[in-house]
């Protein structure tokens, strides 16, 4: 299952919880990157894209 479909299938509460955890993960990754401990910089991009997908789903639901 692709990530976009997964986010569309979540309830609003699950989506909000996932959003909060992704924001925390992004903060931690940025911190690791700044002190030189991040092993895979591609993770930053992946987490940012996940956050964008979540926000897109939330906006689509608000528009309905």
C-alpha 43/C-alpha 50 separation (Å) is 10
pLDDT in tens for each of the 64 residues of the chain?
688 899 999 999 999 999 999 999 999 999 999 999 999 999 999 999 999 999 999 999 999 7
C-alpha 52/C-alpha 64 separation (Å) is 19
Indicate if the alpha-carbon torsion angle 23, 56, 50, 16 is positive or negative.
positive
Q: Read off the pTM.
A: 0.91
Dihedral angle computed from the Cα positions of residues 15, 34, 41 and 53, in that order, rounded to the nearest 10 degrees: 20
Region of 28 on the Ramachandran plot (φ > 0 left; ψ -120 to 50 alpha; else beta): alpha
pLDDT at position 1: 64
């Amino acid at each position: 299952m692709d990530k976009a479909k997964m986010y569309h299938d979540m309830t609003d509460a699950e989506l909000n919880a996932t959003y909060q955890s992704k924001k925390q993960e992004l903060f931690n990754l940025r911190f690791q990157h700044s002190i030189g401990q991040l092993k895979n910089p591609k993770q930053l991009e992946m987490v940012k894209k996940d956050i964008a997908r979540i926000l897109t789903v939330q906006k689509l639901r608000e528009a309905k």
